[in-house]
Amino acid sequence: MARVNPVVAVLAGAALALAGCGGGGGGGGTPAPVTTPPPAGVFTAPAALALSASDVQQVIAQAVAEAQARGTPAVISVTDRVGNVLAVYQMAGAPQTVTIRPGAGPQQLDLQSVQAPASLAAIAKAITGAYLSSGGNAFSTRTASEIVQETFPPQPATVGLGSGPLFGVQFSQLPCSDLEFPTLGKTIGPHPSPLGLAADPGGFPLYKNGVLVGGVGVKANTDYGFDPDVTVNNPAQVSEEAIALAGTVGFDPPAGITADMITVGGNSLIYTQATTATLKSTPAAAPAFSSLGANVGALLPVKGFFGGAILAGQAYGTEASGIRKSSTGEFNNPDTFILTDGSGNDRFAPRGGSDSPSGAAPLSAAEVTSLLQNAFQTMANARAQIRNPLNSRAQVTISVVDTNGVPLGIVRAPDAPIFGIDVSLQKARTANFFSNANAASDLTNNTDPGPGRQADIASFVPAVRNFLGVPTALTGQTAFSTRAVAGLARPLFPDGQVNGPPGPLSRPTAEWSIFASGLQTALVDTNLAMAVSFVGGANVTLPSRCTYLPDVFAGQNRLQNGLQIFAGGEPIYRNGVLVGAIGVSGDGTSQDDMIGFLGIDSAAAAVGGFGNAPVAIRADQLVINQGGGTNRVLYINCPVSPFLNSSVQNACQGK
């Protein structure tokens, strides 16, 4: 199968390097990029297609036939593009529960070894296939496994590999997110995934006429894990993939956009280790869903997620889906999509800040609008990293927050992946949180009720201070981008260095796993475990936010939907005072970095009064004597020659 060569800098570039690399420092005198505004309507919105109830039945029937042919009963779930759970079908003899894979260390930390209903694993896989994909890329949960681990690609025999480009994305779309709607009771999305994004092979996107309409997920064994070595196939994982793949027949993606047609850092991504040629059934000849008796299986109600009757999906781009094209009165760009409440109202229309930053005025609604407009324009001129065909325009979601973490505006491109909505808000909040004068206090004074969790979360403050050699770190003197935070959250410092120490936001290297990443998982695991127990029948209420940090006002803390630890968020300053942050997600971490960073810069030039962090206080100016030498974290890493309509290189240098 042909491979597509990368057209921009490596998506996962090194997370740590000397200051000045990647355009993070000042100076250099490089001319500003020529980013001519694109003509109106440069994007094509996806057709308003959806899975019908009979489509859902067909997907399930085909998957069931393959599971029967393999003698491997499974739980099968189908969702639409915005996360509505359209069906959960449990075959007779399928596992009732799964165990989140234990770690290798002496302790089982965070979510390791937690038991969960198998239905939640199947739903998470289906949502992941739908949320990570778009009209320009089709990613599976095996693709997700490849890009979230501590090495990329995951192959233990090869030393010195850096972490995956979407390291940490698995802890997004959480059921406690304040951005996403509970699944039952509303058709509008995006909806949360019960276990976050899945890295367990066996989840795929579903397409109709080349249009992304949903996902299918299969769970047939009791291990909820990931693929730790891409050079060795796990037969149980491949079997789950085969069952799910059979379900996609007739709903498969265009051949040119599957993950194996997309390269990152010279590596072709992996879509599946199963193929239609190795299926043991003939999906087109699968018995009709209506013929499946009780001896085969039955639809399974799942508390909070599925009511027990097959549903038709919502057509993405319509008011009923919760994500649609904006009107000219809502946002002055004909290509912009927004999140709606199902009744015609923009959920995140540009607004002024809720805060009163000491020594500076809060961001105004006009400034937020300019930030969103300029970042959107930068995106529309940028060349995509993870989207085919070659030289497609980047498509992302953009969020702006104030210093309290309150969303001040969210906009997105028409076909940006859904996962980027929650993640862009996480990234903005992460950059704001670590740059905030209250970061250390918030962590120290958390009220997490989980056993030992309050002290565990607080312990990351002295860990960061000792690691950086700055006794007053996390009190606002340093501007942290999400890329800089990411560098401190890796299990090896610098990223990928053999025998390096763990970053201060990571678990110890021997105890690290994708289910126990460090501060990221410590902050959310109590609420995620509570959501699992809720589905299992416990008399608890689903939490409406993910962390137990102190409130800045009633019902609001600075990390409502959790922490994110891969690049794409930058703080915003006014006369040296933090006033908020921007977060970008959906089309490669370097593209995300550039869109946010240059969006701030362009908006500042347009309306004045704010800008990127002063160079002198950026995190890449910190000298870190760890890892066998003197190192620094990157602040920003923008792609070389990133624009479709300009030959400018190193567009972020000197800003």
Would you state the pLDDT for residue 443? 98
Nearest to 577 by CA among 436, 373, 375: 436
Give the rounded percent of residues in the chain with a pLDDT score beyond 90. 82
Please tell me whether residues 281 and 388 are part of one structural domain: no
- pTM for the full model? 0.94
- Dihedral (Cα; 85, 86, 88, 89), 10-degree rounding: -170
Query: How far apart, in whole angstroms, are the C-alpha atoms of residue 145 and residue 125?
Result: 11
Q: Tell me, yes or no, whether 17 lies in a domain.
A: no
Give the position of tokens 């003899």. 93
Would you state the pLDDT for residue 629? 82
pLDDT at 30 over 90: no
Strand partners, 217: 77, 203
Q: Tell me, yes or no, whether 333 lies in a domain.
A: no
Please tell me whether residues 277 and 401 are part of one structural domain: no
Mean pLDDT of the chain: 91
97-100 vs 223-224, strand pairing mode: parallel
569-574 vs 297-299, strand pairing mode: unpaired
pLDDT at 28 over 60: no
pLDDT at 2 over 70: no
Domain hosting 264: range is 53-299
Would you state the pLDDT for residue 12? 29
Strand partners, 643: 382
* Residue 365 phi, psi (nearest 5): -60, -40
Q: Are 178 and 96 in contact (CB under 8 A)?
A: no
Query: How far apart, in whole angstroms, are the C-alpha atoms of residue 601 and residue 598?
Result: 5
Would you state the pLDDT for residue 55? 98
Q: Are 291 and 69 in contact (CB under 8 A)?
A: no
pLDDT at 9 over 60: no
pLDDT at 638 over 90: yes
Please tell me whether residues 166 and 268 are part of one structural domain: yes
Query: How confident is the model over 354-396, as pLDDT tens digits?
Result: 999 999 999 999 999 999 999 999 999 999 999 999 899 999 9
Domain boundary, last residue among 233, 265, 299:
299
CA distances from 106 to 213, 223, 367 (A): 43, 19, 50
How far does Cα 471 stand from its chain's mean position?
Answer: 32
Q: Tell me, yes or no, whether 602 lies in a domain.
A: yes
| Band of pLDDT at residue 107, cut at 50, 70 and 90 | confident
Q: Tell me, yes or no, whether 277 lies in a domain.
A: yes
Query: How far apart, in whole angstroms, are the C-alpha atoms of residue 89 and residue 536?
Result: 17
Q: Which residues contact 293 (CB under 8 A, 6 or more apart)?
A: none
Would you state the pLDDT for residue 5? 29
Cross-sheet strand order for the sheet of 407-412:
323-325, 337-339, 407-412, 397-401, 577-585, 569-574
Would you state the pLDDT for residue 40? 65
User: How large is the angle between the packed helices 589-607 and 365-381, nearest 10 degrees?
Assistant: 130
Q: Tell me, yes or no, whether 427 lies in a domain.
A: yes
Please tell me whether residues 280 and 392 are part of one structural domain: no
CA distances from 191 to 187, 443, 635 (A): 9, 28, 32
pLDDT at 451 over 60: yes
Please tell me whether residues 294 and 395 are part of one structural domain: no
Please tell me whether residues 116 and 238 are part of one structural domain: yes
Two tokens at 31? Answer: 């001319």
pLDDT at 487 over 70: yes
Would you state the pLDDT for residue 185? 73
- What average pLDDT does the segment 430-458 reach? 97
Mapping DSSP onto H, E and C, the string for 2-38 reads CCCCCCCCCCCCCCECCCCHHHCCCCCCCCCCCCCCC
Domain boundary, last residue among 299, 331, 358:
299
| Band of pLDDT at residue 6, cut at 50, 70 and 90 | very low
Would you state the pLDDT for residue 510? 87
Helices (H), 214-308: 235-248
Please tell me whether residues 126 and 216 are part of one structural domain: yes
Two tokens at 316? Answer: 């993405």
CA distances from 42 to 7, 253, 404, 644 (A): 20, 23, 35, 12
Domain boundary, last residue among 299, 317, 346:
299
Please tell me whether residues 276 and 138 are part of one structural domain: yes
| Band of pLDDT at residue 37, cut at 50, 70 and 90 | low
Question: Considering its fold, how many domains does the chain have in total?
Answer: 2
Report whether the peptide linkage leading into residue 182 is cis, meaning its omega lies within 30 degrees of zero: no
Query: How confident is the model over 531-581, as pLDDT tens digits?
Result: 999 988 888 887 889 999 999 999 999 999 999 999 999 999 999 999 999
| DSSP-assigned letters across all residues of 540-597 | -PPPSSS--PPPSBTTB-TTTT----SS-EEEEEETTEEEEEEEEESS-HHHHHHHHH
Q: Tell me, yes or no, whether 578 lies in a domain.
A: yes
- What average pLDDT does the segment 118-122 reach? 97
Please tell me whether residues 291 and 380 are part of one structural domain: no
Give the position of tokens 């490089």. 30
| Band of pLDDT at residue 22, cut at 50, 70 and 90 | very low
Q: Which residues contact 348 (CB under 8 A, 6 or more apart)?
A: 338, 339, 399, 407, 408, 409, 410
Q: Tell me, yes or no, whether 370 lies in a domain.
A: no
Would you state the pLDDT for residue 36? 52
Would you state the pLDDT for residue 302? 96
Would you state the pLDDT for residue 14? 30
Would you state the pLDDT for residue 38? 55
Q: Tell me, yes or no, whether 57 lies in a domain.
A: yes
| Band of pLDDT at residue 31, cut at 50, 70 and 90 | very low
- What average pLDDT does the segment 121-133 reach? 98
- Dihedral (Cα; 590, 593, 595, 596), 10-degree rounding: 170
Query: How confident is the model over 267-277, as pLDDT tens digits?
Result: 899 999 999 99
- What average pLDDT does the segment 280-302 reach? 97
Query: How far apart, in whole angstroms, are the C-alpha atoms of residue 200 and residue 188?
Result: 27
Would you state the pLDDT for residue 8? 28
Query: How far apart, in whole angstroms, are the C-alpha atoms of residue 298 and residue 289?
Result: 10
For the domain that residue 481 is a member of, what is the CATH number?
A: 3.30.450.150
Query: How confident is the model over 196-254, as pLDDT tens digits?
Result: 999 999 999 999 999 999 999 999 999 999 999 999 999 999 999 999 999 999 999 99
Please tell me whether residues 419 and 556 are part of one structural domain: yes
pLDDT at 328 over 80: yes
Q: Which residues contact 398 (CB under 8 A, 6 or more apart)?
A: 372, 375, 376, 379, 410, 411, 412, 424, 582, 583, 584, 595, 596, 599
